[in-house]
Amino acid sequence: MASPAFPQTSTTLLLDGPAGALEVAVDPGEAPRLPALAVLCHPLPTEGGSMHNKVVTMAARALRELGLDTVRFNFRGVGASAGSFDHGDGESDDLRAVVAWARGRRPDAALWLAGFSFGAYVSLRLAAELQPAGLVSIAPPVGRSWDFAAIVPPACPWLVVQGEADEIVDPQAVFAWVERLPAPPDLVRMPDTGHFFHRKLMDLRGAIKHGVRPYLPDPAPAASTPPPAHE
């Protein structure tokens, strides 16, 4: 399977991944388009998580409205992605593969990582290695099955969004973890908000746009048209 060019219009494609094909959806940022892209990771595959999850698609929408291209993908064993669930280890390899493709095809673009729930864990787990320009973590599953004690906080702008009425992830565990970090992220606590942001998706969109906007690059200059030659 060839490694495709980075598309200029919304499309779904297949990449070579460590366990076989990886299903990837790419959407261009809105004007003014920035020299930046975001790779987004979805929630737990064993609980129905996919790149079509409404929190993931809303986060992607918010980032596109800021001018970033977005890259969503299905972890192994989800949708058209080959393989089977690997408890975060294989999924980390999947993220590495998608980022390597995106950076190889768009070396001009600043890379942001974003993730929801399990996807937040996977993107955080690789942040120190991948060195993104920025990071967005939505409802990171602190206190569940994932080892957050081993995560090295990223050396970049970092936004954490957590619902205060989350029924899946303990909000107090997230807040306590954030407070213990040597360089805490920007934390948005959303009142009366459950894990899947039911009736709060537009608020999530606003929180992401407000939190990310200050750290984005300027729009790429438009290509200038050379003056007409003198006759």
* Residue 186 domain flag: yes
pLDDT (tens digit per residue) in 85-94: 999 999 999 9
* Residue 78 domain flag: yes
pLDDT number for residue 105: 97
> Interhelix angle for 201-212 vs 54-65, to 10°?
40
What is the band of 222 on the pLDDT scale with cuts at 50, 70, 90? low
* Residue 130 domain flag: yes
Helix (H) or strand (E) holding 112: strand 110-116
With pLDDT > 90 as the criterion, what percentage of the chain qualifies? Answer: 89
* pTM for the structure as a whole: 0.94
Residue 159 has pLDDT above 80, yes or no: yes
Residue 77 has pLDDT above 60, yes or no: yes
* Tokens describing residue 86: 């690997």
* Residue 231 domain flag: no
Is the backbone of residue 208 left (phi > 0), alpha (psi -120 to 50) or beta?
Answer: alpha
- Of residues 221 and 67, more confidence is placed in 67
Q: What's the mean pLDDT in 166-184?
A: 95
Residue 101 CB burial class (10 angstroms; 0-12, 13-18, ≥19): buried
Residue 24 has pLDDT above 80, yes or no: yes
What is the band of 2 on the pLDDT scale with cuts at 50, 70, 90? low
pLDDT (tens digit per residue) in 99-127: 999 999 999 999 999 999 999 999 999 99
* Residue-wise burial string across 123-155, b where 16 or more C-beta atoms lie within 10 A, e elsewhere: bbbbbeebebbbbbbbbbbbeeebebeebebbe
Count of beta carbons in the 10 Å neighbourhood of residue 207: 22
Domain of residue 107, residue span: 11-215
Total structural domains within the chain: 1
* Residue 225 domain flag: no
Does residue 186 sit in helix, strand or coil? strand
Name 214's Cβ contacts closer than 8 Å, sequence gap at least 6: 157
pLDDT number for residue 1: 54
Whole-number average pLDDT of the chain: 94
pLDDT number for residue 231: 41
What is the band of 3 on the pLDDT scale with cuts at 50, 70, 90? confident
What is the band of 154 on the pLDDT scale with cuts at 50, 70, 90? confident
pLDDT number for residue 223: 47
* Tokens describing residue 169: 């992830």
* Residue 137 domain flag: yes
CATH code at position 92: 3.40.50.1820
pLDDT number for residue 220: 72
Contact 56, 119 (CB under 8 A): yes
Is the backbone of residue 35 left (phi > 0), alpha (psi -120 to 50) or beta?
Answer: beta
Q: What's the mean pLDDT in 10-28?
A: 97
Residue 228 has pLDDT above 60, yes or no: no
